[in-house]
């Protein structure tokens, strides 16, 4: 006959070692540094959205103009409204890019991994108006 | 030997069921791609009950099966990158014997996300996914801690299982 022991809840949190706390601390510091670095490097507002498919720039579009952009021959549709860009359609099963929030600040991006589509906001002087294909 | 095969099957089945449960949970916390990683619970428990080599095999088979059943080609690639990296990091940390279960699990959660981010950089061929780095670090930390606490409680209760020899 096997003996069963009944455990009660409320043993409390597991005993964390000093190294565990140190590990958590290090991860938080790295995350904070990465966030700050990104925040300070990025200018506050993006003027254009750059659409990349498989690493190749497909087009650059102004955020000040309301429009709908068909990307990659129809796999994704991007909508620009009130200076904000949002993915409104994607043919991939997970629909993660459609659920992602709209972007407006510089270096924000919407990414659709299955279709290899990257939509990123850029400031005008860095992308070059030459790149505009609209 | 007989029981070992049995436990192997149970661990794998549990991992698959947890993958399924997770695919049912519609947790939309506004951060795409961030999951609880319930199936990783099985990996963390297995880490303390099986030999390292077997945990690696368990993790790979789990990702492949879960990918074929609930996911697609992409979830297999991302899952494999994350799972393999996290298992190796966890085995390494556990060997040092300086970390408790939640600590090992946190490292696993974070490295799982890093593995996926690295694959994402290669797939979309841009570093713009890099802005996601801090988000994924903290997400991995939180989910890793939760999974670690659960795993710690489970391990307290299954002390009679040992498959190391």
HSE, CB side, 13 Å, CA atoms: give it for residue A83: 7
Residues from chain A contacting residue B98 (CB–CB below 8 Å) = 17, 19
A103 DSSP assignment: B
pLDDT of residue B89 exceeding 70: yes
Q: Is the pLDDT score of A12 beyond 80?
A: no
Q: B128 and A109: CB-CB below 8 Å?
A: yes
Nearest-CA distance from B63 to chain A in Å?
17
CATH tag for B2-157 (out of 1.10.3720.10, 1.10.1760.20, 2.30.30.40, 2.60.40.3080): 1.10.1760.20
CA-based nearest residue to B37, from B69, B9, B59, B13: B59
Q: Which chain A residue shows the shortest CA-CA distance from B105?
A: A20
Eight-state DSSP code of residue A67: E
CA distance A40 to A127: 19
pLDDT band at B28 (very low <50, low <70, confident <90, very high): low
Domains of chain A (ranges, CATH numbers): 48-131 (2.60.320.10)
**C-alpha torsion sign, points A127, B130, A44, A36:** negative
Task: Tell me the per-residue pLDDT of B115-147, one tens digit each, with 9 for 90 and over.
Answer: 988 888 887 766 666 677 888 899 999 999 999
Which tokens is B108 given? 């696993």
Q: Left (φ > 0), alpha (ψ -120 to 50) or beta: where does A10 sit?
A: left
pLDDT digits (tens, 9 = 90+) for A27-71: 999 999 888 887 776 555 557 788 888 888 888 888 877 888 888
ipTM: 0.80
- Max mean pLDDT among A96-100, B18-22, B145-149 falls in B145-149
The 10 Å CB-count burial string (b at 16+, else e) for A9-19 is: eeeeebebeee
The shortest CB-CB distance from B99 to any of A20, A99, A107 is to: A20
Using a CB-CB distance cutoff of 8 angstroms, which residues of chain A are in contact with residue B102? 14, 16, 20
**Bridge partners (DSSP) listed for residue A109:** A120
Cα–Cα distance for residue pair A23/A25, rounded to 1 Å: 5
In B51-70, the residues whose Cβ lies within 8 Å of chain A are none
Residues A76-111 as b or e (16 or more Cβ within 10 Å = b): bbbebeebbbbbebbebebebbbebebbbebbbbbb
């Amino acid at each position: 006959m096997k003996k069963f022991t009944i455990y009660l809840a409320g043993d409390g949190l597991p005993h964390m070692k000093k190294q565990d706390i140190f590990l958590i601390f290090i991860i938080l510091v790295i995350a904070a540094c990465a966030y700050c670095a990104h925040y300070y490097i990025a200018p506050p507002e993006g003027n254009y959205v750059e659409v990349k498919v498989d690493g190749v720039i497909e087009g650059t579009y102004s955020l000040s103009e309301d429009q709908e952009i068909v990307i990659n021959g129809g796999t994704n549709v991007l909508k620009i409204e009130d200076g904000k860009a949002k993915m409104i359609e994607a043919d991939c099963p997970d629909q993660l890019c459609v659920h992602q929030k709209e972007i407006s600040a510089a270096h924000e991006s919407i990414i659709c991994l299955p279709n290899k589509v990257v939509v990123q906001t850029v400031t005008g002087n860095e992308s070059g108006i030459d790149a505009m294909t609209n | 030997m007989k029981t070992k095969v049995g436990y192997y099957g149970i661990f794998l089945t549990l991992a698959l069921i947890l993958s399924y449960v997770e695919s049912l949970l519609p947790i939309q916390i506004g951060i795409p791609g961030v999951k609880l990683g319930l199936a990783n619970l099985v990996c963390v428990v297995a880490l303390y009950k099986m030999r390292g080599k077997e945990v690696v095999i368990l993790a790979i088979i789990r990702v492949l099966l879960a990918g074929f059943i609930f996911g697609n080609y992409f979830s297999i690639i991302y899952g494999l990158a994350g799972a393999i990296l996290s298992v190796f990091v966890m085995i390494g940390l556990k060997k040092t014997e300086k970390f408790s279960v939640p600590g090992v699990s946190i490292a696993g959660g974070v490295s799982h996300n890093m593995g996926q981010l690295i694959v994402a950089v290669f797939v979309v061929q841009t570093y713009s996914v890099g802005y996601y780095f801090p988000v994924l670090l903290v997400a991995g930390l939180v989910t890793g801690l939760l999974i670690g606490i659960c795993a710690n409680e489970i391990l307290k209760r299954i002390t009679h299982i040992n498959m190391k020899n």
